[in-house]
Amino acid sequence: MKKIRKICCIGAGYVGGPTMAVIADKCPHLEINVVDINKNRIKAWNDNDLSKLPIFEPGLEEIIKKRRNQNLFFSTQVEDQIKNADMIFISVNTPTKTHGIGAGFASDLRWIESCARQIAKYAEGHTIIVEKSTLPVRTAEKIKSILDLSLKGNKPKNANLQFSVLSNPEFLAEGTAIDDLINPDRILIGGDDMEAIKLLEDIYSNWIDKNKILKTNIWSSELSKLIANAFLAQRISSINSVSALCEKTGANVIEVSRAIGMDSRIGNKFLNAGPGFGGSCFKKDILNLIYICEFYGLKEVAKYWKSVLDINYWQQNRISSLIIDKLFGTISGKKISIFGFAFKSNTNDTRESPAINICKNFLNEGCELLIYDPKVNEKEIASELGKNEKNVDPNIGNWHKFYTIEDSVKNADAIVILTEWEEFKNIKWDLISELMRKPAWVFDTRNICKKEEITKSDINFWQVGISDKES
């Protein structure tokens, strides 16, 4: 049986980087090469200052420090590393299409196809290709077609050249990705080449119990990733819809969540009310699922999953409108301090963050945003909200990035907590109150603050899913 000695991962992003770091740490006998055409990203992965890694993920720095340049390497040498690899992981971006058939729903597979063509051109010997990116069902079939056609159309220089394609989707949550990789709920491997499956299984078996490694056909593996994310997003939209009902009826969404979460049939995960889900996967995967359902004529199924996205947008717009209403119906010329811009704590990822839509709603009302996030830099905020400039239109607001909580609240009319960073749970509200303009408000969209500590500091307080009478 073939032995795996060298692994190449194409794509040094949020999936490829951490995944290969953990494999390198758990399999020191393997040589891992992570490649990317983005020179700045690779430069950041190789920076001696580990705080400059392109991804913030708890536990990642320690592994990079231990394994980098030992058996873990980052480079732009895509062709060379494809040629040398026994196994190639594809971990490139698959954004939602913006043009053409399926625009706004289907995944853009141009980078996947590009990888397949590069592999077909430069690989040598028997090469195992592993889908790691989140992909629509039957993408592996397209990859295999490209590879097979390359073998038929051109007489290979290496007579032993052959390919096996596997699906091995990631189930990582940003902020806990390293722990998810070290202690996964399951590892899913889909394919029809039993030898290739066994070789990938053997890699994971270095630290994961084989009972957690599930083997399926390749189509089930690809679809399982989309469905897992769709189910998680659906739970978030469900509890957020309940949060609005709680505010109207006098119920407390925290107590409701705790009560239903104790039901063993339901469980307590993903039942925290908030400003909506974000990140790179949930919206993209549901859009992809909607597209697939419509393609196969399952219009009612597509409509059901679209409602999950509709509730997510509705919750963000509902919170925006509620805040404006509490601030006397207008925020034009007022200052609002934004606590947190990442889509969740313990990550610097802003993709599809609820903060983006809510901040845009505020800017369109003409306010000034004072933004503080401990890990998101000004460049990332600018990429989502536009440049930090005073707009020519006086009706459109502007924003500023701050590096301390104190600076971000000076003369602010309100604070809106949008990310559940740990430091927001331990704020000295009596000192913050002195810096704000009165009457001051705190809007806690994550339910992480203690009501008593805020209200005794002469600040008005609102929490998502809790009625005004209670809060």
**281 tagged catalytic:** yes
> 150-158: long-range contacts (C-beta < 8 A, 24 or more apart)?
150/117, 150/120, 150/121, 151/120, 157/124, 158/124, 158/125
DSSP secondary structure of 61-95:
HHHHHHHBTTTEEEES-HHHHHHH-SEEEE----P
Helices (H), 95-184: 110-122, 139-153, 177-182
Q: Is 107 helix (H, G, I), strand (E, B) or coil?
A: strand
CA distance 201 to 196: 9
Q: How far is CA 147 from CA 130, 163, 324, in A?
A: 13, 7, 56
| End-to-end alpha carbon distance in the chain | 65
CA distance 421 to 347: 10
Catalytic residue among 8, 9, 281, 449: 281
CA distance 286 to 230: 6
CA distance 438 to 432: 12
CA nearest to 352, candidates 133, 95, 170, 135: 95
Contact by Cβ (8 Å): 233, 286: yes
Helices (H), 154-217: 177-182, 194-204
Question: Which amino acid type is present at position 131?
Answer: E
Contact by Cβ (8 Å): 180, 19: no
DSSP secondary structure of 321-362:
HHHHHHTTT--TT-EEEEE--SSSTT----TT-HHHHHHHHH
CA distance 404 to 321: 27
What is the β-pairing status of strands 31-35 and 6-10?
Answer: parallel
Burial (CB count within 10 angstroms: exposed 0-12, middle 13-18, buried 19+), residue 387: exposed
Tokens 């610097």 locate to 348
Could you tell me the two tokens for 297? 């004529």
Q: Which residues are catalytic?
A: 281
